[in-house]
């Protein structure tokens, strides 16, 4: 490769999140410190941009793609199982994934961010946290100190993975959900939007709902509120 020639970043998935990732990749590219430029998309639907003014090609299906040495990849498919399957398949064929960290994201000291992971705008990973490969941390989500996020997790907008929390592989957190300190979520579990995990969610289960409930009830407090 000559010094002027850049590698090409291919975004896997040309849906709504793919268009968002295009924006974030262009923001990263504008900073001028990467050796790639966005070169197109891989998607099974060649007409994905029919209704959008996007001047980039959909080059083919990710399942059939044979990576070239100048190809770099990032995956914008929200479903953890599908994303891991496609990314690991491409990796086995020699694909070189990049991590996409938006300029507005904050990553603190001693954090480990895996390959092919995307940090969208406003994400914070505080300190000593470990984020696996092919993870999506969507807009304004936060991962606290010493937390561990397994490969292929999808952490949607405004989620809060607090200190020492642990997410297994392929966990899906719906938007605005929280995992409280030291709580854990097993492999491929799904947590509904707006839910709060306070202890342990078993692998391959779906949970949902807020857990706030009164925990300091005493006969005295009941009597005083009755009197009020
Ligand atoms: C948890 C979730 C994955 C489950 O999806 P699902 O298996 O398709 O379940 P359904 O949508 O069919 O809902 C099943 C029931 O749970 C209820 N429910 C769904 N999500 C809920 C939530 N977050 N909180 C409370 N109840 C919920 C539904 O009302 C429905 O109840 P009903 O049977 O009484 O009508 C999904 O509801 C969810 O929260 N997804 C998050 C999506 C998100 O944040 N996306 C961000 C990127 S766009």
Task: Output the pLDDT for position 25.
Answer: 98
Angle at 81 between CA 80 and CA 84, to 5 degrees: 80
Please give the chain's pLDDT, 228 residues, in tens.
444 679 999 999 999 999 999 999 999 999 999 999 999 999 999 999 999 999 999 999 999 999 999 999 999 999 999 999 999 999 999 999 999 999 999 999 999 999 999 999 999 999 999 999 999 999 999 999 999 999 999 999 999 999 999 999 999 999 999 999 999 999 999 999 999 999 999 999 999 998 767 777 777 766 665 544
Whether 90 and 108 have beta carbons less than 8 Å apart is answered as no
Pocket test for ligand 1, best of 79, 192, 212 (most atoms within 8 A of CB): 192
φ, ψ of residue 59 to 5 degrees: the values are: -85, -20
Residue 199: which region, alpha, beta or left (left: phi > 0; alpha: psi -120 to 50)?
A: alpha
How many whole angstroms from its chain centre is CA 110? 19
Pairing of strands 58-60, 71-75: unpaired
Ligand 1 atom 20 nearest Cα: 192
Ligand 1 atom 38 nearest Cα: 192
Residue 107 CA to residue 128 CA, distance in Å, equals 10
Q: Delineate the domains of the chain, giving CATH numbers in brackets.
A: 7-98 (3.40.50.20), 99-200 (2.160.10.10)
Strand partners for 119: 101, 137
Pocket test for ligand 1, best of 193, 196, 209, 211 (most atoms within 8 A of CB): 193
Residue 167 CA to residue 203 CA, distance in Å, equals 10
The alpha carbon torsion through 179, 155, 193, 158 (nearest 10 deg) reads 80
DSSP H or E segment with residue 83:
helix 80-92
Task: Output the pLDDT for position 226.
Answer: 53
176 given a catalytic annotation: no
Listed as own residue / partner, the contacts of 140-148 with beta carbons closer than 8 Å and 24 or more positions apart are 141/173, 144/181
Residue 104 CA to residue 99 CA, distance in Å, equals 15
Residue 215 CA to residue 112 CA, distance in Å, equals 37
Task: Output the pLDDT for position 5.
Answer: 77
């Amino acid at each position: 490769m000559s010094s002027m020639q850049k590698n090409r970043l291919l975004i896997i998935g040309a849906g709504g999140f793919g268009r968002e990732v295009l924006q974030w990749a262009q923001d990263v590219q504008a900073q001028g410190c990467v050796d790639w430029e966005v070169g197109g998309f891989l998607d099974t639907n060649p007409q994905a941009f029919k209704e959008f003014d996007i001047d980039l090609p959909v080059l083919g299906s990710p399942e059939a793609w044979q990576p070239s040495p100048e190809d770099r990849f990032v995956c914008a498919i929200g479903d953890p199982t599908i994303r891991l399957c496609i990314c690991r398949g491409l990796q086995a064929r020699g694909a070189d994934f990049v991590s996409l960290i938006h300029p507005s994201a904050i990553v603190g000291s001693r954090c480990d961010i895996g390959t092919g992971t995307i940090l969208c705008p406003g994400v914070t990973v505080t300190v000593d946290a470990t984020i696996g490969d092919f993870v999506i941390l969507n807009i304004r989500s936060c991962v606290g100190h010493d937390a561990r996020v397994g490969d292929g997790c999808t952490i949607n907008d405004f989620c809060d993975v607090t200190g020492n929390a642990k997410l297994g592989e392929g966990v899906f957190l719906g938007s605005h959900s929280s995992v409280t300190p030291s709580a854990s979520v097993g492999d491929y579990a799904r947590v509904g939007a707006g839910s709060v995990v306070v202890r342990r969610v078993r692998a391959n289960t779906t949970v949902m709902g807020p857990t706030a409930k009164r925990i300091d009830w005493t006969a005295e407090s009941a009597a005083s509120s009755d009197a009020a």
